[in-house]
Structure 1
Amino acid sequence: MKQLLSGNEAVARGIYEAGVKVCSAYPGTPSTEILENVAKYRDEIYAEWAPNEKVAVEMAYGAAIAGSRSFCAMKMVGLNVAADPMFTAGYMGVTGGFVILTADDPSMHSSQNEQDNRYYARAAKIALVEPSDSQECKDFIRAAYEISEQFDTPVLFRTTTRINHSKSLVEFGERTEHEAPEYHRNIRKYVCVPANARKNHPKVEERLRKLAEYGNTCGLNRMEMKGKKIGVITSGVSYEYAKEVFPEDTSFLKLGLTFPLPMDLIRKFAEQVEEVFVVEELEPFLEDQIRAAGISCCGKERTGRMFEFNTALLRERIFGEKPETKVPEAAAAARPAALCPGCPHRGFFYTLSKNPNYVVTGDIGCYTLGAAPPLGCMDTAVCMGGGLSVGMGMSKSFEQEGVTAKKVFGVVGDSTFFHSGMTGAAEIIYNKGKMIPCILDNRITGMTGHQENPGSGYNLEGDPARAISIEKVLEAYGFEKIIVVDPQDLTAMQKAVDDALASEVPAAIITRRPCLLMKRSPKPETVCRVDPEKCRSCRSCLKAGCPAIAIHEGKAVIDEVTCAGCTVCAQICPFDAIGTVEK
């Protein structure tokens, strides 16, 4: 049977067919849909959303130590969070097969940097596998488990946005059950104290040597010989682009096992062609190693280091063929990213935006859009959990420099609080921070598509789960004044800010209102409407940054199709020109 699957769907199918028993992940685009699809196989596979990527790796690795085949997934910046256990797992090895998927994001479609995680495999000294299409996503996952168990190593499985989300035909196979061996304690192997680690390192180096030999003959790496003039060494989705761009008589060395590199195979391929091109997105990971082996090649001096490839870009960079461009008759309207109509975060950011002395250290989530105009209410956005920790650093700087006017508000969402915000909250309490931590609780992991989290009351499979109370966690840490507020009530929101700043004991703010797009949220029964007779064209309502509000013939108008009836604009209007009507 064949089906049209995205790469993420195909990975999930490969996990099923490989006999995997335990899966853990933290949602992050472009990897999120993998675990959502694994959940369809709940009778055979346990799957969960972990609080963060480090926990996901540790949990899945524990299952591998116990003997099960296990899997964890994350977007590429998530591997920064998970690197600690992955590096140590590389020294200790596995019992059951263990695969870590990193979904890289060339061109940063949904990420804050463009890091190339192939280097993690090299640094951690573990095997690296890269598929080129959906069929390979499924097939290579199965091969990755065989490699993991044969060579006693975790396997880093690298995809990219274009592979994760593009669709192609996939031929299904049957599930092959993997039976875990009887568990026996193995202190020498799995207790990685320095004495054991020193003994493990020579084994790791020997493993890499054997993996390189295996790569010279394994089916994941293959030569496609046609002509003698040009040979292309490539991997991942770059193979698909290169096949379209280079002449018909081009020979290819397609690599699927990309660390350690099969240098004997590469050298054999290079000897059969006159000129070698290395085509790879982002960094010269393959190219640098090939050059270091004394093999002449052409790479990044032509293809460049930034952004994802496409066929037009490669034709221009490699062959100087500029694509024909047609000037459109009318330019597309600019539509900057904005908080959704009815977003509960809008009232919070609008309230803080009114005071220029408020410093808002943001985080990664829907609420990062609080930085967008007209709200423009965010000073930093660094990484998951950084909203509280970076805010702590800024507040301490203001203390040291004698700056008393600035007041710092550190922001995280509910899912991010459980991911890495709790340690920032501990930092504030432990080191006497003079700042206000703000947890924007919309009852779901919003940005990546409404995945559950430890505070939502449900697990990955939609079953009821114990919900962790954010206010009880903060109380346990030592915050003595915890203000829970509906952010769409602007009067209450302003009072919450004022009360937190005036508090003589450690204070925190929790804004709580469910994301309107959540399937469990009640749908609005009313919408907002402008009375044109009362509207004075002051444009105050536009300061809310709601996409449903516009100016037409000098007057404010509200699109009742997109309006969610949150009434933030009505509360802002100084002339009471906005009211509500039944939908």
Structure 2
Amino acid sequence: MKMILTGNEGIARGAYEAGVVIASGYPGTPSTEILESIGKRYPEIRADWAPNEKVALEEVCGSAIGGVRSMCTMKHVGLNVAADPLFTIAYEGVNAGLVIVVADEPGMPSSQNEQDNRYYAKHAKVALVEPADSQECIDYMKEAFEISEKFDTVVILRLTTRVSHSKSLVEFKDRIEAPYKEYEKNIQKYIMVPANSRPKHLEMETERIPAMREYSNNTSLNRIEYNDKKIGVITNGMAYNHARSVFGENASYLKVGFSYPLPDKLFKEFSENVDTLYIIEENEPYMEEFAKAMGIECIGKEIFPICGELNPQIIQDAVYGKTEDLKTPKESEQDIPNRPPSLCPGCPHRGIFYEISKYKDSIVSTSDIGCYTLGMAPPLSIGDTVICMGAGFSAGIGFERAFKA
């Protein structure tokens, strides 16, 4: 059966088809609809919201080690919260497959930063996959569990806002009932005291990562598309779709879907077969740094922006200079009223903010990320600082102590 799904709905479908049993997460745009979709459509999967991303990851670490395929979801800044268990489970490995779905936000439509979480995979030394459309969200999700179990590793599946929220045609397949993997007690594998951590780290460096790199060079997730070889493009995710819109068949492509470890042999082969090589990626020069470290001549952030989202117009202007506008949708010339985000009707925060607003000229109000930030807008205009989730209380203590010093 064929359907049109968002990327987030595709992730949920991929989890179902992969035989996932346990799913947990913490809501945050652009990832929220993944767990919502699982909860509404796939009763075979037990899905629940956790109090934060750390707890979500810890829960599914337990269920994966316990023997069933498991996943958790979060937005990009949530991986900061979940970093503690991430770096330990990276050493321990898994039993049944374990996938962390992380949605990054180039351009920050609803976030406080646009951190590039590809570096988390490199830092923790766990596998990383990046789909570019809704069908790939299904397919890569299923492959991610195979990778996880094959290499005994956590897999990070990285989305971006446009992949999460854009829609494309997908094809449904049947659910795979993944076999239960018997849990066996193994202190050396699952308790990371120094005596166990040292050999696990060595094993990771000498066995797991080289094996994953070999896979990266041979998997269909990383593919070369040769067309005209005057221009070559190494790209990933939504940037691949934008690059295809600009160059079409007038360029060759290395589409990277398995992003850690990156495929060194494919990078070298592709670079040797094109005249001019561009590396087109949103935000940080993750692939560009890898290529240049190998001595590959390429053009990247010298012309492409490091901040914000890419689109076909930005890519065309960067490569060819400002020539003509692409045939993209234009903004309406109608005078449409501005509709900024606002607190939902009946939100209990509204009354609290109203009371605080009576004293706003004589106090400092330390706020939090999330709906609380909506209090900063008129007419309430409450909130002098925002740092991160939960920081309102601790920052307030800091202010009090500073004022009393």
TM-score normalized by structure 2? 0.95
2:364 aligned residue: 359
- In 2, Cα distance between the equivalents of 1:29 and 1:52? 14
- In 2, Cα distance between the equivalents of 1:103 and 1:327? 27
- In 2, Cα distance between the equivalents of 1:31 and 1:337? 18
- In 1, Cα distance between the equivalents of 2:311 and 2:121? 26
Alignment of 1:167 onto 2:164:
no
2:71 aligned residue: 71
Q: Work out the number of aligned pairs and report it.
A: 400
Alignment of 1:348 onto 2:340:
no
1:389 to 1:233, Cα distance in 2 relative to 1, 3 A: same
- In 1, Cα distance between the equivalents of 2:201 and 2:265? 24
2:280 aligned residue: 279
Work out whether residues 131 and 140 of structure 2, in 8 Å CA contact, stay in contact via their aligned partners in 1. Answer: yes
Q: Deviation of residue 365 (structure 1)?
A: 2.4
Q: Deviation of residue 354 (structure 1)?
A: 2.4
1:242 aligned residue: 243
Match of 1:368 among 370, 373, 380: 373
- In 2, Cα distance between the equivalents of 1:87 and 1:161? 25
1:8 aligned residue: 8
2:117 aligned residue: 117
1:231 aligned residue: 232
2:81 aligned residue: 81
Alignment of 1:180 onto 2:180:
yes
Cα deviation, 1:305-363, whole Å, max 9, x if unaligned, reads: 00011111211222213554989755544444333455443332232222221221111
- In 1, Cα distance between the equivalents of 2:211 and 2:22? 28
- In 2, Cα distance between the equivalents of 1:279 and 1:196? 41
- In 1, Cα distance between the equivalents of 2:357 and 2:282? 40
Which letter does structure 1 place at the counterpart of 2:53? Answer: E
Which letter does structure 1 place at the counterpart of 2:278? Answer: F
Which letter does structure 2 place at the counterpart of 1:275? Answer: T
What percent identity do the matched residue pairs reach?
55
Cα deviation, 1:180-229, whole Å, max 9, x if unaligned, reads: 22221010000011110001011111211111111111111111001121
Unpaired runs of at least 5, structure 1: 401-583
1:125 to 1:395, Cα distance in 2 relative to 1, 3 A: same
Which letter does structure 2 place at the counterpart of 1:20? Answer: V
Match of 2:343 among 339, 345, 349: 339
- In 2, Cα distance between the equivalents of 1:347 and 1:44? 40
Which letter does structure 2 place at the counterpart of 1:265? Answer: L
2:198 aligned residue: 198
- In 2, Cα distance between the equivalents of 1:27 and 1:240? 27
Which letter does structure 2 place at the counterpart of 1:150? Answer: K
Cα deviation, 1:259-308, whole Å, max 9, x if unaligned, reads: 10110011011111111110100000000011001111101111110001
Which letter does structure 2 place at the counterpart of 1:72? Answer: C
Higher helix share: 2
Larger radius of gyration: 1
Alignment of 1:144 onto 2:144:
yes
Cα deviation, 1:222-270, whole Å, max 9, x if unaligned, reads: 1100112111001111100000112522100001101101100110111
1:492 aligned residue: none
CA RMSD of aligned residues (A): 1.7
- In 1, Cα distance between the equivalents of 2:70 and 2:154? 10
1:337 to 1:14, Cα distance in 2 relative to 1, 3 A: closer
| Helix, strand or coil at the partner of 2:110 | coil
- In 2, Cα distance between the equivalents of 1:287 and 1:234? 10
Decide which moves more: 82-91 or 309-318. 309-318
1:69 to 1:358, Cα distance in 2 relative to 1, 3 A: same
Work out whether residues 313 and 325 of structure 2, in 8 Å CA contact, stay in contact via their aligned partners in 1. Answer: no
Cα deviation, 1:448-496, whole Å, max 9, x if unaligned, reads: xxxxxxxxxxxxxxxxxxxxxxxxxxxxxxxxxxxxxxxxxxxxxxxxx
1:497 aligned residue: none
1:62 to 1:383, Cα distance in 2 relative to 1, 3 A: same
Return the structure number with greater relative CO, CA threshold 8 A, min gap 6.
Answer: 2
- In 1, Cα distance between the equivalents of 2:190 and 2:61? 11
Work out whether residues 228 and 274 of structure 1, in 8 Å CA contact, stay in contact via their aligned partners in 2. Answer: yes
Decide which moves more: 101-110 or 37-46. 37-46
**1:377-456 maps to which residues of 2 (within 5 A)?**
377-400=382-405
- In 2, Cα distance between the equivalents of 1:329 and 1:128? 42
Which letter does structure 1 place at the counterpart of 2:250? Answer: D
Which letter does structure 1 place at the counterpart of 2:128? Answer: L
1:523 aligned residue: none
Work out whether residues 312 and 322 of structure 1, in 8 Å CA contact, stay in contact via their aligned partners in 2. Answer: no
TM-score normalized by structure 1? 0.67
| Helix, strand or coil at the partner of 1:395 | helix
- In 2, Cα distance between the equivalents of 1:71 and 1:337? 31
| Helix, strand or coil at the partner of 1:24 | strand
1:275 to 1:398, Cα distance in 2 relative to 1, 3 A: same
Work out whether residues 129 and 260 of structure 2, in 8 Å CA contact, stay in contact via their aligned partners in 1. Answer: yes
- In 2, Cα distance between the equivalents of 1:314 and 1:208? 33
Work out whether residues 230 and 275 of structure 2, in 8 Å CA contact, stay in contact via their aligned partners in 1. Answer: yes
- In 2, Cα distance between the equivalents of 1:322 and 1:383? 42
Which letter does structure 2 place at the counterpart of 1:240? Answer: N
